[in-house]
């Protein structure tokens, strides 16, 4: 299996982390999104949406969307709860991540880290919604060890990707002790060093 | 089961359509999002994210996020492909819907229909991205009967919700014949009248 990804993208790292955790063999193909490498005719044949991560299996079939990819790769593993309702709560967090967390926290980080925009020039509405997402996680994680119950799941993988680097997008996690506790535990579950 | 929903919201209708198609009994509780009914203390107890649709099962457990809800309700039915890769392609379209389609097409429609904004005052970037989403669907549906292969699935339910009313957001589907063919077939699969 080939993973077409950009190591600066949390969405791409989700796929790498799941493969590493489950010892699935893969070849990582670096794609530089800033240089437009997702918009070449060759890449668009792999994924018409022009987005990374995209995986290509050995038989030539492809799959895109980070959360769909990790859900497929982790099928049958302990990263997906065997109880149907618990798996549905995992899905709830993963859809929420793409709709209510990533568009604010990852986008602010992208603008600061890659477009070199100062924090003071970020869209205040995006900042506000990013903090609302963090507040919701904090509230939940103050009463629950992981996002979809007590066991580490793909919901934690998915939300870890950009929450652990939220400070790079100007977000201050000082007032979010449960989220910080969960970031550390999730990093250890995946064998990752603490994000700087 | 209670469905807390707003009948003006495509995301909420997805849940209704799946229940109707699978003959799952439910009670529909009308929630007016415009009037702030998702922000009351009672509603926030059901869903801390303050969003509809939210379902409450008879045992008091709750579930949110339209695509997570329909994935749970339709488990074991023909609306989810039994082949794991086909199911993953369904998931790919459903995550893409929430990230690359709904934020543009549904949001433009919301602004025109509910906030009474004229089409000329829509954010041009949102309009452009909405058309990009329609173009991607058109390309795919020109070669495939449904989104996740040849069989009608939750991917079609999910993307039908706002594509069938895209014209209410100012989108002209004249140049998208395959998408229009698919809208008609998907409406018939769900027993819906054609959207006006």
Tokens describing residue A87: 């798996």
**Does the beta-carbon distance from A49 to B96 stay under 8 Å?**
yes
CB-based contact, B43 to chain A, within 8 Å: no
CB contacts of A67 in chain B (<8 Å) are: 91, 95
- Nearest CA to B7 out of B116, B125, B161, B117 is that of B161
Q: Scan residues 84-123 of B and list those with Cβ closer than 8 Å to A.
A: 84-85, 87-89, 91-92, 94-96, 98-100, 102-103
Instruction: Please write down the HEC assignment for all residues of A142-192.
Output: CCCCECCECCCCHHHHHHHHHHCCHHHHCCCCCCCHHHHHHHHHHHHHHCC
Residue by residue, DSSP assigns A85-136 as: HHHHHHHHHHHHIIIIIIIIIIHHHHHHHTS---GGGS-HHHHHHHHHHHHH
- Residue B93 phi, psi dihedral angles, 5° rounding: -65, -35
Residue of chain B nearest A103, judged by CA positions: B99
Distance CA A192, CA A194 (A): 6
User: Is the ipTM value over 0.90, yes or no?
Assistant: yes
Per-residue pLDDT in tens (0 to 9) along chain A, 196 residues: 999 999 999 999 999 999 999 999 999 999 999 899 999 999 999 999 999 999 999 999 999 999 999 999 999 999 999 999 999 999 999 999 999 999 999 999 999 999 999 999 999 999 999 999 999 999 999 999 999 989 999 999 999 999 999 999 999 999 999 999 999 999 999 999 887 7
Return the percent helix, strand and coil in chain B, to nearest 5.
55, 10, 40
Q: How many CB atoms lie within 10 A of CB B147?
A: 26
Among A75, A89, A140, select the one facing B48 at the smallest CB separation.
A140
Residue to mutate among A99, A103, A162, with most B CBs inside 10 A, is A99
Using the Cβ of B126 and the Cβ atoms of chain A, whether some distance falls under 8 Å is answered with no
Q: Identical fold at B2-73 and B84-189?
A: no
Cβ atoms of B126 and B104 within 8 Å: the answer is yes
A8 shares contact with chain B (CB less than 8 Å): no
Q: Cis bond leading into B53, ω under 30°?
A: yes
The CATH code of the domain at B84-189 is: 1.20.1050.10
Tell me the pLDDT tens digit for each residue of B96-138. Answer: 999 999 999 999 999 999 999 999 999 999 999 999 999 999 9
Provide the pLDDT for residue B195.
77
Structural domain boundaries in chain B: 2-73, 84-189
pLDDT in tens, A9-18: 999 999 999 9
- Which of the following CATH numbers is that of domain A84-190: 1.10.3720.10, 2.60.40.10, 1.20.1050.10, 1.10.260.40? 1.20.1050.10
Angle between helices A154-163 and A84-96 (to 10 degrees): 20
- Contact assessment for residue B99 and residue A66, using Cβ atoms and an 8 Å cutoff: no
Residue labelled with tokens 């077939």: B185
Given B49, B98, B139, which is nearest A98 (Cβ)? B98
Question: Considering the domain B2-73, what is its CATH architecture?
Answer: 3-Layer(aba) Sandwich (3.40)
Q: CA B35 to CA A168: how far, in whole Å?
A: 36
Range scoring the smallest mean pLDDT among A123-127, A186-190, B1-5, B32-36:
B32-36
Please report the pLDDT score of residue A195 as a whole number.
Answer: 77
| pLDDT for residue B186 | 98
* Each residue's pLDDT tens digit, A66-104: 999 999 999 999 999 999 999 999 999 999 999 999 999
């Amino acid at each position: 299996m080939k993973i077409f990804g950009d190591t600066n993208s949390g969405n791409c790292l989700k796929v790498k982390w799941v493969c590493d955790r489950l010892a699935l063999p893969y070849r990582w193909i670096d794609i530089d999104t800033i240089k437009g490498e997702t918009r070449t005719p060759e890449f668009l044949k792999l994924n018409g949406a022009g987005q990374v991560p995209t995986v290509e299996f050995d038989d030539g079939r492809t799959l895109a969307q980070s959360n769909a990819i990790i859900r497929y790769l982790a099928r049958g593993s302990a990263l997906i709860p065997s109880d149907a309702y618990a798996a549905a709560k995992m899905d709830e967090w993963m859809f929420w991540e793409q709709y209510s967390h990533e568009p604010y926290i990852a986008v602010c980080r992208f603008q600061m880290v890659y477009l070199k925009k100062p924090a003071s020039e970020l869209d205040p509405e995006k900042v506000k919604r990013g903090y609302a997402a963090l507040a919701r996680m904090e509230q939940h994680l103050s009463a629950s060890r992981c996002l979809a119950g007590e066991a580490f799941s793909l919901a934690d993988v998915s939300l870890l990707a950009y929450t652990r680097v939220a400070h790079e997008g100007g977000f201050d996690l000082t007032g979010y002790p449960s989220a910080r506790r969960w970031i550390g535990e999730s990093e250890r579950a995946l064998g990752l060093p603490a994000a700087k």
